[in-house]
Amino acid sequence: MIKVQLIAITIVALLSLNATAGEKPNIVLLFADDAGYGDFGFHGSHHFKTPNLDQLAKSGVRLTSFYVTGATCGPSRAGMLSGKCQQRFGFEEINVPGIMSDHSKLLGDEMGLPTQLPTMADHLQDLGYRTAVFGKWHMGVADRYHPLKRGFDEFYGFRGGARSFFAYPDPNRAKRENLMERGFEGFKEHEGYLTNVLADEACDFIQRSQDKPFFVYLSFSAVHTPMQADPQDKDTFSELNGTRRIAAQMMLSMDRACGQVLDKLKELGLSDNTLVVFSNDNGGPMDKNGSSNFPLSGVKATQLEGGLRVPGLVAWPGKLPAGVDYELPLSTLDLLPTFVAAGGGDPSVIEGLDGVDMLPYLRGGNKGRPHQTLCWKMETRGAIRDGDWKLLRFPDRPAELFDIVKDPGEQNDLAADNPELVKTLFKKLFAWELELQRPLFMLRREEEGWSSRRADEFRSPPAETY
């Protein structure tokens, strides 16, 4: 009789565990590269077409003050994947190998996301998730930084920061970090247009992973250079010219790829139990890929809004409201704790996180500010947003102060009218910087270029007709 009771209890427990596992949402992170803030239909673009992402915006929450942790690709992704300001562990000033070949020669394998830091994939694995990353990695090219050693069960993509959207005709002449790789050292060039291939791979993973909760990090290289459009879109956007036209075509391909993934979730009946996030790693560089950050000033690698504020969409049917805007500041730092909380974990026990669980705020249960203060730093430049005020600190001229809610284009400098507030924000920024580690990789100005250029060059937003 006792054995029967024990068996019955065991069965109930197993059923309970299975039910709990079934309630965990799948998580899909769709992540663009170097996209312009104004180049999305849901942000009012007149020419770029993003119908699938526009529909995602209607089905979820649009984050209108969503920030990255850094204005360039590598540091931004390091902060997002770790849930910590990347300056806390010295990943501050430059991109890892794959972009700056001289740095690669100088520092070799030393550049990458420090291996002692768990990633969002590590945390989700601990919660029972099957994890995969497709596309751009950019967190270090050495084997010890490989995605399969950083919490991901599957990887198909490239270790570096950018590559051709088409297969290299002679892979032996390409850099190792730019080659397509399946798993660990399964180097073989893809067939077809890269954006489409990544969508196919993500959909295949989703198809194979329905038996347990999964996390997909679909890390597009679009619309980063090189400017190469899908041949099937060659006749589109005839009203645009040059790089601007190619950027619109590349954006269309990326939107179509996002739609393919969303359609796969719907086809498999997984949409209602999947948390989907779309965002971008930094502002558009404009002069390199023809992007537009309208109505924001600034570009990639500057700490103006156009370098730091990015699109943000969060959709979870039945768990989050649909078709609404959330206007208070949030950050890509918040993705890790949000994913952990959605997966049944407790982000409060993770040491040193700088982000917060977004879900109570997006649901309306918490009416407070997720972040009173957000800070950014690159070399001696710094920026701080405290409430509705934003201070920009420069090494070669006086600080600038903006009411960022009334003046998101940062056109009206109010520093001279508010000297005490400027002093207070300087102190807050300095206090934050005292918590940081020295940069692991030092910037060479002649390679990065941006740090020696005045913010004034990017002050005026591009024409709205974009």
Active site residues: 73, 138
What is the rounded CA–CA span in Å between residue 457 and residue 466? 19
Listed in sequence order, the residues at least 6 apart from 367 whose beta carbon sits closer than 8 Å to its beta carbon are none
What is the rounded CA–CA span in Å between residue 383 and residue 298? 13
**Pairing of β 130-136 and β 154-158:** parallel
